[in-house]
Structure formats: C-alpha cells, structure tokens
Amino acid sequence: MKTRKTARPVTAADHAPAATGETPAPPSRPLPGLRLGPHLTTAGGLGHTALLAEEVGANTFQFFTRNPRGGAARAITDQEIEEWQKERQRLGLYPVVGHLPYTVNLAAPNPETHAFAARILAEDWQRMALLGVEYLVVHPGSHGGAGADAGIDRIVAAISTALEKTNGPEMLLLETMAGQGSEVGGHLEELATILERLGNPPQVGVCLDSCHLFAAGHDLSTPEGVDRLLRELDRTVGLERVKASHLNDSKVELASRRDRHERIGQGRLGDNGIGAYVRNPFIARLPLLLETPVEDYREYAQEIRRVLRLAGQQAGPAAQASGA
C-alpha cells in the first residue's frame, strides 16, 4: 500500500488545523488548556447533554448519533437545536464529536449490510451539519474475511456516496483500530489507502484512540513512543488529517490486537503513558474524548481531574468538587 512521505520533522509547533477551509465559528468564551470531555448520552436532547458536560467539568464531549445498536434516528426539533446552540455558546463546548453506532460496517461484504451502513453514514453526516457538530467519527469496519483490500474498496464506495450528499465543513473521521479479527484500520497504512482512494478530500480525516493504538503495537508509554507514533502518522495519513483523539487506558498488553478500554491510569498505559500522551504538544491541541468504563457519568469528573493532573493543568470547579 502506498504511504504518504514527508521530510518535515514533527515539532512542538505542529497542531491540528481547522476541519476544512471553512472553519465553524468558535464559541464566544475563551478556550484555554486541553479540550477534554467524555462520551455522554443525548437522552433529553443535546441541550441537556451540554448540562451533563458542565456537571463533570468538560469543555467538549462525544455522543452516539443514534442508538448504538442501530435503528431509527431520534427526531431533531428546531427547539432542540436552538437550546443546544444557546447552551454550547454559554459553556464554550467546542468542538463536539458525533460517533456513528457500532452496527455501521462500511466494509461489510454482505450487500444489504453495506447498503444499510452507507445510508446511515449519509443520513447522520447530514444530521451533524444540522446540529453544527464539527466531527463525525466512524469505525472503518470489518471485511469479514474478504481481505483488507476488498474491505477498503467498500469503505471508499460508501464514503464517496455520502460525500456527494454533504457540502458543509463538518468532517468525517476514520478511527484508528486495535486490529482485532478482520477490522480495517489496525494499520495506519490502511487508513492512508482509504484517504488516497477517496482523493484526499478535505472533509475526511482521522480520529486517534490511545487504547486502540497501544493494542495495535504503538508503544505510547513514553514521550519517545508518542513521538514515534506522530512520525508514523505524518508518514502515512498526514498530521494535518488528525483532528481528534479518544483517550482511554488499556486493560490488555501492548500489541495484543484486542480492544479493551480501561479507566485512566488503571491500565497498561498507566499514569506515565497517559501523561506522556496528553503532554505531547500535538496531542494536547486535539479534542480528547474519554470512553473509559465508568459506572455512572458523574465519575467522568474524576477522570477529567486525573487527566488534567497528568497534563499539569488545573481542574475546573465541577471536576474538583468530585474528588479524584
């Protein structure tokens, strides 16, 4: 597979640029420090989700675009959009990330399953535009034994169809995967090939996942390991394509090819690895989305506090009030 080559070294000056040339206007509040938040429910509408983010001390968040098991999408009313925009401006929630349900398999060899995935992708990309959500994350999919190249062809076909139906600045992000089973995206070269076959459109980029990357063989336990990852990203997909990161510890060892999230500091990455990751100048400029296995969303305040401590930053009042 072809890879993207560049002689430019990764430096502290590198950062994640805006989604596309037409950047959405940021909220009126300043955006200091890390952009950090959890995956939250949208039951009650996005305006209510904004209040949950405020409660745990987040300044960004991620949500499922519809039931994670698939099915019909929840209707979005004008009232919900108005309330959501008001609350996000008040709280400075930016950028915000939607995540397609896990049932969406863009690489599926079954024609009906693939057609369903392509339809949901197109529909939900348009729904994110309606809500002003900056990024939409998708797992590339599983080829089901047909081979990575065949899976990539189907992923490209689905995304190409969706691109014909969207013209806003909202960006689709392909997630880096652990590489378990027949997953596409466990190798950075696979994501690079998808982008290349699409023609490198400005509306498509990459979302990292610290747990998945570690499971795929990228040792993020030291600053040097994070630097190596960034060089690999720059060589393959290009750093300018990397727009967000899921922030998770890993229950399982390096290069296990198993996707098992753990709470921050309690897994194989530990405080040292998570600290090395979030203190990297490039990573620190990305929105960081927690998908750690908490029992109750309020526990995300503790996760946020711990991440900020590891990053050498001060937690906000909500996270401080929760304890660590």
Whether the per-residue pLDDT at 105 is higher than 80: the answer is: yes
Q: 239 by DSSP, 3-state: which?
A: helix
Point out the catalytic residue in the list 66, 99, 241, 306.
99
Categorize the per-residue pLDDT at 20 as very low, low, confident or very high, splitting at 50, 70 and 90: very low
Q: 178 by DSSP, 3-state: which?
A: coil
Categorize the per-residue pLDDT at 319 as very low, low, confident or very high, splitting at 50, 70 and 90: low
The answer to whether residue 20 is domain-embedded is no
Q: What is the mean pLDDT of residues 276-300?
A: 98
Q: How far apart are CA 203 and CA 167, in angstroms?
A: 9
The answer to whether residue 22 is domain-embedded is no
Query: Active-site residue 291, yes or no?
Result: yes
Point out the catalytic residue in the list 69, 78, 112, 295.
69
Q: How far apart are CA 123 and CA 98, in angstroms?
A: 13
* CA dihedral sign of residues 261, 247, 58, 238: negative
Is the Cβ–Cβ distance between 96 and 137 less than 8 Å? no
The reported pLDDT for the residue numbered 75 is 87
Query: Active-site residue 261, yes or no?
Result: yes
Query: Active-site residue 175, yes or no?
Result: yes
The answer to whether residue 263 is domain-embedded is yes
Alpha carbon 91 to its chain centroid, in Å, reads: 21
Query: Which two tokens mark 40?
Result: 């939250």
Query: Active-site residue 139, yes or no?
Result: yes
Query: For residue range 50-59, what is the model confidence (pLDDT) as tens digits?
Result: 999 999 999 9
The answer to whether residue 19 is domain-embedded is no
Query: Which two tokens mark 213?
Result: 């990357």
Q: What is the mean pLDDT of residues 299-307?
A: 97
* CA dihedral sign of residues 22, 26, 30, 33: negative
Query: Active-site residue 246, yes or no?
Result: yes
The answer to whether residue 9 is domain-embedded is no
Query: Which two tokens mark 81?
Result: 């959009």
HSE toward the beta carbon, residue 80, CA cutoff 13 A: 15
Query: For residue range 37-91, what is the model confidence (pLDDT) as tens digits?
Result: 999 999 999 999 999 999 999 999 999 999 877 678 888 999 999 999 999 999 9
The reported pLDDT for the residue numbered 73 is 87
Point out the catalytic residue in the list 139, 143, 241, 306.
139
For the chain, percent of residues with pLDDT exceeding 90: 82
Query: Active-site residue 114, yes or no?
Result: no
The answer to whether residue 28 is domain-embedded is no
Cβ-based neighbours of 58, under 8 Å, separated by 6 or more: 36, 37, 38, 93, 300, 304
Whether the per-residue pLDDT at 250 is higher than 90: the answer is: yes
The answer to whether residue 139 is domain-embedded is yes
The reported pLDDT for the residue numbered 278 is 98
Q: State the CATH number of the domain containing residue 169.
A: 3.20.20.150
Q: How far apart are CA 124 and CA 246, in angstroms?
A: 20
Phi, psi of 244 (to 5 degrees): -160, 170
Q: 55 by DSSP, 3-state: which?
A: helix
Residue 11's CB is within 10 A of a number of other CB atoms, namely 9
Q: 187 by DSSP, 3-state: which?
A: coil
Domains identified in the chain, total number: 1
Helix (H) or strand (E) holding 120: helix 111-131
The answer to whether residue 18 is domain-embedded is no
The more confidently predicted of residues 10 and 20 is 20
Whether the per-residue pLDDT at 2 is higher than 70: the answer is: no
The reported pLDDT for the residue numbered 33 is 87
Q: Tell which residue, 54, 33, 44, has the closest CA to residue 297.
A: 54
Categorize the per-residue pLDDT at 221 as very low, low, confident or very high, splitting at 50, 70 and 90: very high
Residue 154: give the domain boundaries. Answer: 35-315
Point out the catalytic residue in the list 123, 196, 227, 291.
291
Could you tell me what percentage of the chain is helix, strand and coil, using 3-state DSSP and rounding each to the nearest 5?
A: 40, 15, 50
Q: DSSP states of 258-273 as a string?
A: ---EE-TTSSSSHHHH
